[in-house]
Structure formats: structure tokens, C-alpha cells
């Protein structure tokens, strides 16, 4: 279950890391190079600095908040129960290496979500995103008890396509004009991964899954 958010009137919601901490405590590879935590208000300055430093890297592929006002709205969005933003952090330094957004979580018979991800320039190309995205996939299946994650990627975004394949996503098709990005409807390659494709211990069905 997604960890609840606690909000004081007039403030940005405080996000509880308990679900991620419980997941990390159960990981066999706890000595990996990266760790995870949920996006929070306290990350504002570091996050905005990284977005500014990564403008060329993100190009037309990923639009992240670039002002304090946009950042606070972003944190508020991802404090909702059907959305989650997970930071990939370098274990030794605590530096934010990337972000993975788990969007539009749908329960019931679907138990699915869409994900989007971005590396940050200072640590890009060092394998942190591959390790971190694989960890987020396991978190989504083991802790959030999702069954399927989808990723929509523009055909020209070769780095993102390679990352999805490295982590084990399978290519499922091509959709013209799928998403509105950077002022136009963009074509996307569709990728997905399911819990049965990942070597994880079976989990009971989520409580929202219908009996029949």
C-alpha cells in the first residue's frame, strides 16, 4: 500500500518514507550503490539545481519542475495515493542521481501504473539509473503490489530505450501521437514489465483486487 501523506493546512504535504524503508530492509542486495527515498519538500534546492544542470540532457524528453512554485506543486501531486515519485540516491554520498515517477496507479483487476524516469547530469552514465530503476520496479511489485508497469518512450530517445531494455522491459508496440509533450502530440514506443517477468517472491493480491 502506498504510504500516506500527512498535510498541515497551507503547507506542502509531508511524505512518509515508511513503505520504501520497509522494502529496502527486505532486500538481499542492501549493499548496492544506490538507495531510494520518496521526493519531499526538503529536496527542493538540490532538485532544482539538478534540473538546471541537466537541461541539455533532458532536452525534449522530460519536463521537470524548474521553479520553486512548480516544484511545490510537483511534491503535492506525488503525495496523492495514486502517484509516487521516487528519488534514486547514491548510497555513499546521498546525492540525487535520478528520479522515477510512478504515475496513474490503477487498482482493481488492473493493478498497473505508468512510469517515467530521468537521470541527472552530474552522475549520468555511471550506471546508477540502471540499478535504481531495477530497484524501483521491485519496489512497485513487492511493496506496492502492482502487477504491471508501462513506459512510453519517444523513438528518438535512445538512452531511455536502452535503459528500459536493460532493466527487462519488453517492447509491446508503437503508438503515433500518444502523449502531448513540448507543444505537440508525440509518437511513442510502448514498453512494459510485469511481476511474472521479475524474479521476486510471490505476493498476495492487493486488497482492491476483486475476488471474481
Averaged pLDDT, 133-159:
95
HEC-encoded secondary structure of the chain: CCCCEECCCCCCCEECCHHHHHHHHCCCCCCCCEEEEECCHHHHHHHHHHHHHCHHHHCCCCCCCCCHHHHHHHHHHCCCCCCEEEEEEECCCCCEEEEEEEEEEECCCCCEEEEEEEECHHHCCCCHHHHHHHHHHHHHHHCCCCCEEEEEECCCCHHHHHHHHHHCCEEEEEEEEEEEECCEEEEEEEEEEEHHHCCCCCCCCCCCCCCC
55 or 202, which is more confident? 55
Residue holding cell 550503490?
Answer: 33
Show me where the domains of the chain are located. 34-197
Q: What is the pLDDT of residue 186?
A: 95
Helix axes 18-25, 128-142, angle to 10 degrees: 100
Q: What is the pLDDT of residue 212?
A: 79
Q: What is the pLDDT of residue 59?
A: 87
Q: What is the tens place of the pLDDT at every residue in 178-211?
A: 999 988 999 999 999 999 999 877 778 899 998 8
In which band, very low, low, confident or very high, does the pLDDT at 3 lie, cut at 50, 70 and 90? very low
Cα separation, 58 vs 121, whole angstroms: 9
131: Cα within 13 Å, side-chain hemisphere: 19
Q: What is the tens place of the pLDDT at every residue in 74-109?
A: 999 999 999 999 999 999 999 999 999 999 999 999
pLDDT at 116 over 90: yes
The whole-chain average pLDDT of the chain stands at 89
pLDDT at 15 over 80: no
Q: Which CATH superfamily is domain 34-197 in?
A: Gcn5-related N-acetyltransferase (GNAT) (3.40.630.30)
Amino acid at each position: 500500500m502506498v504510504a500516506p501523506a500527512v498535510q498541515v493546512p497551507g503547507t506542502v504535504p509531508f511524505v512518509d518514507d515508511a513503505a520504501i524503508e520497509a522494502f529496502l530492509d527486505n532486500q538481499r542486495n542492501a549493499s548496492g550503490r544506490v538507495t531510494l527515498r520518496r521526493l519531499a519538500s526538503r529536496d527542493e534546492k538540490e532538485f532544482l539545481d539538478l534540473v538546471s544542470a541537466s537541461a541539455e540532457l533532458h532536452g525534449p524528453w522530460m519536463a521537470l519542475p524548474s521553479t520553486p512554485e512548480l516544484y511545490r506543486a510537483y511534491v503535492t501531486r506525488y503525495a496523492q495515493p495514486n502517484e509516487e515519485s521516487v528519488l534514486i540516491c547514491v548510497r555513499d554520498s546521498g546525492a540525487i542521481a535520478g528520479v522515477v515517477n510512478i504515475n496513474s496507479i490503477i487498482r482493481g483487476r488492473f493493478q498497473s501504473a505508468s512510469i517515467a524516469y530521468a537521470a541527472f547530469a552530474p552522475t549520468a552514465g555511471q550506471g546508477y539509473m540502471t540499478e535504481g530503476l531495477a530497484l524501483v520496479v521491485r519496489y512497485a511489485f513487492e511493496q506496492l503490489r502492482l502487477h504491471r508497469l508501462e513506459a512510453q518512450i519517444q523513438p528518438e530517445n535512445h538512452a531511455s530505450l536502452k535503459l528500459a531494455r536493460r532493466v527487462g522491459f519488453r517492447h509491446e508496440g508503437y503508438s503515433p501521437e500518444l502523449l502531448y509533450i513540448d507543444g505537440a502530440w508525440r509518437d511513442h514506443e510502448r514498453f512494459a514489465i510485469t511481476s511474472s517477468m521479475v524474479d521476486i517472491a510471490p505476493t498476495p493480491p492487493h486488497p482492491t483486487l476483486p475476488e471474481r
